[in-house]
Amino acid sequence: DAGITQSPRYKITETGRQVTLMCHQTWSHSYMFWYRQDLGHGLRLIYYSAAADITDKGEVPDGYVVSRSKTENFPLTLESATRSQTSVYFCASSDGVLQETQYFGPGTRLLVL
Amino acid sequence: QKEVEQNSGPLSVPEGAIASLNCTYSDRGSQSFFWYRQYSGKSPELIMSIYSNGDKEDGRFTAQLNKASQYVSLLIRDSQPSDSATYLCAVNMGTDSWGKLQFGAGTQVVVTP
């Protein structure tokens, strides 16, 4: 049972490039989330999705795009990467039964040069 | 602005002692409360969830909730070096934001042998 996976685990890119971070879950959870974690800020919600084709902005959505055509996948795209987007990105999912408990993927460490 | 506040620490605890972590939240509509543990370089993992006022025990962990005071705490009994981690408090963002959690910045716990 793979649970929730993220790829790539590490990524180095340059300013201005487009980058897509992948998230895949095998639980058929309805809800999926993208967070970024920076020193001093904790986990901040970027986007979330309540179901396939339903997405909504979180606290820090600027510069990011998401889509969810299938329940199990929730990719996050940085349209034109900036140095301020250097961070650790976590994907999470929730089954909607156990009262909003979220389960996290292993994270993607992104460095924008 | 909905907020979740935690002392950043580090909280130094002798092995075998009780570690006490505190969390306050601003949204009176919050109904679900979570404690996550995050080891350095790893993703958050759920330790405890609590939804009703009072205490909830799970092994060496006890979560305490006081909705009137907007306060949730985590006690770790018989602390072990393996408990050294950052502990994140998470609170749901009210009845109009199902599924979304607000995270505190975390309290770093260091258990000293």
pLDDT single digits (tens) B60-97: 999 999 999 999 999 999 999 999 999 999 998 766 66
More reliable by pLDDT, A11 or B9: A11
Q: Check whether B98 has a pLDDT greater than 70.
A: no
Selected for mutation to probe chain B from A9, A102, A108, A109 (highest B CB count within 10 Å) is A102
Element (H, E) at B50: strand B45-50
| Residues of chain B neighbouring A50 (CB-CB closer than 8 A) | 98-99
| Pick among A47, A100, A101, A103 to test the B interface (most B CBs inside 10 A) | A100
Q: Report the sign of the C-alpha dihedral through residues A68, A74, A75, A81, in that order.
A: positive
Task: For chain A, give the mean pLDDT.
Answer: 93
Nearest alpha carbon to residue B83 among B44, B112, B55: B112
DSSP structure class, residue A16:
T
The CA distance from A70 to the nearest CA of chain B, in Å, is 19
Contact call for residues B105 and B7 (beta carbons, < 8 A): no
